[in-house]
Structure 1
């Protein structure tokens, strides 16, 4: 029998004892679908406002959203929010399949859109400045919606399998909602080796960018041409002066996240975090960015690898040279290196996040593992 995510019938989700912030966090399977529905309406209203006022909202660095894009995203947000709200009711047959399909599409689209949120973090860390306020707002809206929809989908799938929506394990009679957290642990040796091998895909891409930034010439690209393409100011310029490209710095943040997911210090704040030292890390704090960023980067990396392969084998037209790349071959190499880097980092994040999620999942008291 499926376990409903509704607080009136859910064992361990809505029956969690206690009050305050901790109890509210334990009830996430009941409030996440409602919050996703509210987000869908708010998101659609924001998109409608942008479309009505003709506000420029960049969907890519060189292209703004059209009215059709505004309408399509707003409609999908409302559909996803309605599907999330519907998971709180018993569903069967076609309605259940329709809700599942709507959630899958919405999580995929808004999860891909949330990739820009990592760029915002990088610009804030490097003090480079945000190029577009509306673009940053759109990325944050995507990240919020993707997180809420993903939580809803997880709770709903667990409930359909007859498991507790929150801890994901079956409850015996009399099980209660008090969580039992596992102790600090690190990933298995196999998982760590797999993540390290995948991260090696960053080396050609990051090595070339660092070499150009330091003043070297490679693949026909000169250091001066690379500098002109990536002229920056503030912290970004300071990073370039010591040979660190801003995008490489962003990749290093991803590597930092992967290592945190693999080791004990990612489950309990280490001593160098000062006032947080010794406290348990909220599991969603690293998992949500790892899932969203890892999924988007993996898809992007696969696309780049396929494009590079098709262009190199002559199946499609070769890439048109563009500064600072003087030839089609040099640009093809860089696209391939980018595919290895983004795909490797994305898959490493997913592998590490899968291990972290399994190692840190709390159990409701009395639940069977």
Structure 2
């Protein structure tokens, strides 16, 4: 645990330095100046908590609290990753750096907090605790959530495919959508896929569904036959959990808060931002399809990731 404590402390100092630098230089984070001070504060407390771990102080709850704060700060990172993969520029470089930084911190803090749980180090049952549990499928209710998350993405995928194939949805034609991609600086690969009738976000959605089912089926714990050289080997827990936790922390709140905002817009309490769209009705229809997909998938990913975490834990033989 000493090594984990030093790692948390080092990350905390780096985070504090980044936040302080943004605050003192006037660099805005998320459109305001004050978040820099908040990031600096979280980093400073994390550095102190890391030193407490080195000195074997009982700070497990504090570590989880800081982990939660870091996870909240990572909101939106998945969108930035998708934007970069598509060859586009992120809206704010400092925001993206902050999100990436706190994701690293969240992982370090969670790892250290888990290491401090009772019986995590040593003990008479140490060898038994570290035995990997046999691959199991998630309980029926978790698989039902996976089906719900999969179906939630269907309207979104169909909408994108209609545009990619030159059709029209919500009064927006495929050519108009393609022109907006060009205007936003999409990469050549993105534009080529659009011309071939494929949309890059559809491919990402399919990859997300693949991840979701890997979390709830046994083949997500042991590589299946079609993986050829990897067949039969144990899947490292971090391989599916890293994108799953990142996606859950991003898509679930993004979709749920987005649905709340759209509810207010639909009720006439506020007006939706049109962006490049000409009509409010078109904007609402498109936004509802997207937000329902993100929220449904994001919540399903939370449920599936939690089940996978419990089923694959070294102490979780037989747990669900």
The TM tier, using the shorter chain, reads 0.7 to 0.9
* Alpha-carbon distance change, 255 to 33 in structure 1, aligned in 2, over 3 angstroms: farther
1:192-231 per-residue CA deviation (whole Å, 9 max, x = no partner) reads 1221112211122232222122211121222232222222
Deviating more after overlay: 303-312 vs 74-83: 74-83
* Alpha-carbon distance change, 110 to 241 in structure 1, aligned in 2, over 3 angstroms: farther
Contact 1:111–1:143, Cα closer than 8 Å, also in 2: yes
2:318 is equivalent to residue 361 of structure 1: no
Contact 1:321–1:327, Cα closer than 8 Å, also in 2: yes
Query: Which protein has greater RCO, CA pairs closer than 8 Å, 6+ apart?
Result: 1
Please name the residue that 1:100 is paired with.
Answer: 61
With normalisation by structure 1, the TM-score equals: 0.73
Mapped to 2, the partners of 1:368 and 1:187 lie a distance apart of 11
Please name the residue that 1:318 is paired with.
Answer: 271
Please name the residue that 1:240 is paired with.
Answer: 194
1:77-107 per-residue CA deviation (whole Å, 9 max, x = no partner) reads 222342354356444xxxx6xx736742x33
* Alpha-carbon distance change, 214 to 115 in structure 1, aligned in 2, over 3 angstroms: farther
Structure 1 residue ranges without an equivalent (≥5): 1-6, 8-29
**Equivalent of 2:181, from 204, 210, 230?**
230
* Alpha-carbon distance change, 318 to 150 in structure 1, aligned in 2, over 3 angstroms: same
Structure 2 residue ranges without an equivalent (≥5): none
**Equivalent of 1:140, from 72, 75, 100?**
100
State the 1:320 CA deviation: 4.4
Mapped to 1, the partners of 2:119 and 2:195 lie a distance apart of 53
Query: Over aligned residues, Cα RMSD in angstroms?
Result: 3.2
1:316-339 per-residue CA deviation (whole Å, 9 max, x = no partner) reads 123243322x32222222222222
Residue aligned with 2:223, SS: coil
**Equivalent of 2:254, from 300, 317, 320?**
300
Please name the residue that 1:149 is paired with.
Answer: 109
| Total equivalences in the alignment | 313
Mapped to 1, the partners of 2:286 and 2:93 lie a distance apart of 30
The runs of at least 4 aligned residues of structure 1 exceeding 6 Å deviation read none
Please name the residue that 2:163 is paired with.
Answer: 212
2:41 is equivalent to residue 75 of structure 1: yes
* Alpha-carbon distance change, 199 to 230 in structure 1, aligned in 2, over 3 angstroms: same
Q: Which has the higher helix share?
A: 2
Mapped to 2, the partners of 1:51 and 1:203 lie a distance apart of 43
Please name the residue that 2:303 is paired with.
Answer: 351
